[in-house]
Amino acid sequence: MSERTFTRYRLIYTLLSIAFVVFSGFVYTQAVPENNKVVSSKAVQGKMLWQQHNCSSCHQLYGLGGYLGPDLTNTLSSKGKGRDYAAAIMKSGTQVMPDFHLNDAEIEALLAFLEHADKSGNNRVHSYKIGRDGTITSEGETRK
């Protein structure tokens, strides 16, 4: 390799390194957008309870999880439902959902977790159709 080629590669490497450092500084000094607020400690406790009781084996969040129970992504903001509705079901269970004997603090933590999920996403994923070829289209969309 000639000295001229080596100098060119070193210049390119130096410029890329400077660009990386500048870009990294830019990324890590930006303000966090409103929709990415830090999750409250109560919501984190609720997530841990969600995992401990394996709620996703029956319920979905953001369209992911089991199909025995309903998708709970937007349950707290759904018309006719809300915190009291969800708390009552968590307190005593249903014919299908067992009573996990949760205390009031655990119910509040799970509600905080569901509130965070409610604000951060939606459960309209079921309005999509999966085609035979694996493509996904929404109900109103036509394929070309």
pLDDT of residue 136: 65
Which spans in 30-143 are helix H? 41-52, 83-92, 104-120
What are the Cα distances from residue 25, in Å, to 2, 13, 17, 19? 35, 18, 12, 10
pLDDT of 124 reads 61
pLDDT values of the chain reduced to their tens digit, one per residue, 144 residues: 788 888 999 999 999 999 999 999 888 887 665 655 678 899 999 999 999 999 999 999 988 888 888 889 988 888 888 899 999 999 998 899 999 999 999 999 999 999 999 988 776 655 667 777 777 676 655 544
pLDDT for res 31: 67
